Amino acid sequence: MTKSVDFSAETLARLAEADVARALAEDVGTGDLTAGLIDPGRSSRAQVLARESAVICGQAWVQAAVLQLDPDARLSWHVQDGERCAANQVVLELQGRAQALLTAERTALNFLQLLSAVATKTARYVEAVKGTRAQIVDTRKTLPGLRLAQKYAVRTGGGTNHRIGLYDAVLIKENHITAAGGVTAALQAAERVVRQASFVEIEVETLAQLEEALNADAKMVLLDNMDLPTLREAVRLNAGRAVLEISGGITLEGLRALAETGVDRISIGGLTKDVKATDFSMRFEEL
């Protein structure tokens, strides 16, 4: 199975600092011309409001965006990562140099709105399969450069992380099988790298391929785009021998029925690929 990603506070802080440094460089460039109109000695207070109910995620990124510009700024969170906020609730209060808060505003909100959206969507899918054995799992369909941030958001929403990249696990898909010369040949070739991988998984499209994979001692099998009767038969044939994962064309509306087939994991690219940003706004007050 997947190795657990280290999302300790220290790791999150380092990850967020690097992500935010890139984002600020992109946004600020040679300087914030508009914030430069403000007296550099002026201080301000601000509030971040959630315009809709959501699972909050992204505190480390907001902190980094503000503190990289004003190390003395103070942030007071009213809702923590993983907790749900209500519409129109104040989730964060800030105090610091007005210029810094203004420059940090968009970068901070961009991270907060994206990561909260991923966490909120994941929580919705996790709730839909509650009471079944199925875990909700992410994929590599992430925004370039923000994979770990989005995988943290999936975890915050109650989901499970799949492989992080091409380097930490083996996932043998249709093209790999064709190139290798078949299911058995691909699994045999995987034995050469099995010690480097946190898991070896193979994708199958038919029950015949599933049986071949199981006979070749597959430990994880991805059932791709199978209908409900075929999935139920796959679970019966498997009889607990391998971890069964399903993927392909999954919607929230059909999710419960898929989970009730008895599969172990449901991987959903839409958790990180097709997200609608959560609506937040920042409002300033004079001191």
The H or E element containing residue 196 is none
Point out the catalytic residue in the list 84, 140, 141, 256: 141
Residue closest to 52 by CA, chosen among 84, 88, 81:
88
Q: What single-letter amino acid sits at 119?
A: A
Compute, in degrees rounded to 10, the torsion defined by CA atoms 111, 106, 285, 80. 0
**Euclidean distance between CA atoms 197 and 212, whole angstroms:** 22
Q: What single-letter amino acid sits at 4?
A: S
Point out the catalytic residue in the list 52, 205, 224, 260: 224
Alpha helices in 29-168 (DSSP H): 59-67, 98-128, 147-156
Pairing of strands 74-77, 89-97: antiparallel
276 is catalytic: no
151 is catalytic: no
**Euclidean distance between CA atoms 196 and 16, whole angstroms:** 28
Residue reference for tokens 């370039």: 144
Are 198 and 169 in contact, with CB atoms under 8 Å apart? yes
Phi (first) and psi of residue 184, to 5 degrees: -60, -45
Point out the catalytic residue in the list 45, 106, 147, 219: 106
Residue closest to 237 by CA, chosen among 207, 206, 201, 200:
207
- DSSP-derived letter for residue 77 is E
Point out the catalytic residue in the list 70, 105, 201, 203: 203
Are 105 and 38 in contact, with CB atoms under 8 Å apart? no
173 is catalytic: yes
Residue closest to 58 by CA, chosen among 111, 17, 125:
111
Point out the catalytic residue in the list 173, 174, 217, 274: 173
Catalytically active residues, by annotation: 106, 141, 173, 203, 224
